[in-house]
Structures are given as C-alpha cells and as structure tokens.
Amino acid sequence: MLNGKSILLTGGTGSFGKCFVARILKDFPEIKRLVVFSRDELKQFEMAQKFSTQEYPQLRYFIGDIRDADRVRRSLEGIDIVIHAAALKQVPTAEYNPFECIKTNVLGAQNLIEACIDMGVKNVVALSTDKAAAPINLYGATKLCSDKLFTAANNIRGRHDIRFSVVRYGNVMGSRGSVIPFFMEQRSKGVLPITDPRMTRFNISLEEGVDLVIHALEHSLGGEIYVPKIPSYRITEVAEAIAPKAEQRIVGIRPGEKLHEEMITASDAPNTLETAKNYVIVPMLYQESRDALMARYAKQHNGTPVAEDFRYNSGENTQWLDALQLRALIKEHVDASFHV
C-alpha cells in the first residue's frame, strides 16, 4: 500500500517518529519519499546520523512548525499520505502555557487539515491520546479538539479524494517524559516518587503504535477513531519492576492528572464498534443516520456494536501487566541492557 507513495510525518523527530521511520524504511523500501517534518534542527541532525539521506535517498528532513500554515503547505508538495504526530504533550507545561499548547495542538491541526485538502493528499492519520477522553487537563482538551477537527474534516473535503482518521492510545513505553524512563533515571537515588498507589495507566509499545497507524491507513473509511485493546499497569508495579528495593514515596497526584485514564467514555458507547484487536469510534456524519453509519462501518471493520453502558478505562481493564511482565517489556522495547 505504501510503496510508490510519498509520506509526510509531522513531529518526525519524536519517539514515535523515529520508530515509524525505522519501520517504513525496513518494510516499505520502495516508497517514493519520506519527509520528516519538525521544528528542531538539532534533533533532525541527530536523527540523520542514524537515518542518513545518503543511505536512504528517499528520506528528507524538512524544518518547519505546524503553526506556520505557509510552511505546512509547502511541505505537502507531491505528498500522498500524512501522519500527524506533532504536539505539545507535557501536562504541566500545557497548564502553565495554555495558549502555546492551543496554537500547536489545535490551530496547527487545522493548518494541516486545510493544507492537506488543498494540496491533494489522499490519506491522513492523526495521533491522539487517552487524555482526550473526558479531559481534565488542557493537553487532553486540545487533543480532543484536534480529534474533532480531524474527524469532522471528512465533512468538508467536498470533491477531494481524501480520508482523515485518528488513532488514540495510552502511555507509550519509553517515550520521552513518560514514567518508565523517569523511574530508570531515579532508581540510583533509592527513592521513586509515586503519585498515588492506586494509579493505573494503559500501556503500549512504540511498535504497536506504528502497527495501529498502518492499520488505519489500510482500512479507514474516514472519520474513525481507532482505540487498541491494550493492557494496563499499576504505577506500583512499574516501581517494583524497575527498582524493587527502592523506597516508594507517595507525593500526590499532580494538577491535571487522573487516577485512571479513559480511552472510550460511556457517552461514546452508542457510536463504538468492537473488532478483534481494536475498538472503533464511528464518526457522526450529517448526511447519514446513526444506524446507517454504524452498519456501514461495521461491515468495513468486521465489527459489532458495544453495550450501551460500555466504557474503556485503565482501572477497569481485563488485561494487566505485573512486575515480571513489565521487566521483560522494558528489556524488549526500552533498553536491551536493562536489569534489576
């Protein structure tokens, strides 16, 4: 599906971007072009040491900010597929600098949507977060707004042959600023700060996140929000996995944090389908009734409607990771030299 295509990846120097680039270069060697779009020249330089344009002539590094509509439009010349991973995602930073977060996560998303429609892009997948479901912090609110912009963009595409969809998943193992690398840094001090011993989170690897994006590219009709079926962990199990002898010091939940993360709320249930590996939140398009939409998307995804009171959150999950399983996953996905 991707061979012969030109792909643009926004936020391409982040954790997801590096994993996505590695996968595409390995599994789709006949792609026409893969453009890494980001605003940090140093990160692009560092990334080019691993993925050089000499070794991979189809690779491009393109400096730009998603807030700059003209630069976004220029980056889309000849592009067929866009993966949107650019975002400001640190919760405390967003709380302290709210409009900066809005500029990138909301206004930047709309810049990209309008440019993709105008420039003849065929397929767009945007990355979301569990914090976008029933948000209680600004980061989650901006990502919910972004999700709505991307799903609703299918209503304004007119005669243009383009599809917009969204993938929403939980905490990514080893991503910058996440709990696992933070605990690995802190364990030498003998104390790990625990916000609340009851706290739970969803868990997904970068590779699984890339799998979900490729699945969305292959199967979307347009407007879907894909939610993977993934396990949860308790924060205390993460601490036990990384530093079993360290003191677990309770520090309290930070502003904007939840005790448990949600990915599908009960309000989303009437529009949600269950498939073998994922849930799919179906868009509400004005030209079709809910029943007609659910039937059409159920046929496309081989899915069935969930129960009316269904919800999907990390505290009520049926899949759980214990400390031993977490250790194995850390060694596989985060640091091959990791040991307790």
Instruction: Identify the bridge partners of residue 172 per DSSP, sorted by sequence position.
Output: 204
The token pair that represents 62 in the structure block: 């393109």
CA-to-CA distance for 8 and 78, rounded, in angstroms?
A: 10
Q: Indicate the angle between helix axes 179-186 and 235-242, nearest 10 degrees.
A: 40
DSSP helix/strand/coil, 20? helix
The token pair that represents 314 in the structure block: 């990390």
CA-to-CA distance for 94 and 135, rounded, in angstroms?
A: 13
- DSSP label at residue 306: P
Question: Does the annotation count 131 as an active-site position?
Answer: yes
Angstrom CA distances, 171 to 113, 127, 286, 339, stand at 26, 12, 33, 22
Please classify residue 268 by burial: count the beta carbons closer than 10 Å to its beta carbon, then call 0-12 exposed, 13-18 middle and 19+ buried. buried
Angstrom CA distances, 224 to 154, 201, 262, stand at 10, 23, 17
Catalytic residue among 5, 18, 131, 143: 131
Would residue 4 be called left, alpha or beta, if left means φ above 0 and alpha means ψ between -120 and 50 degrees? left
Please classify residue 25 by burial: count the beta carbons closer than 10 Å to its beta carbon, then call 0-12 exposed, 13-18 middle and 19+ buried. middle
Angstrom CA distances, 254 to 42, 199, 258, stand at 31, 12, 9
Contact status, residue 203 vs residue 230, Cβ threshold 8 Å: yes
Q: Give the catalytic positions in this structure.
A: 131
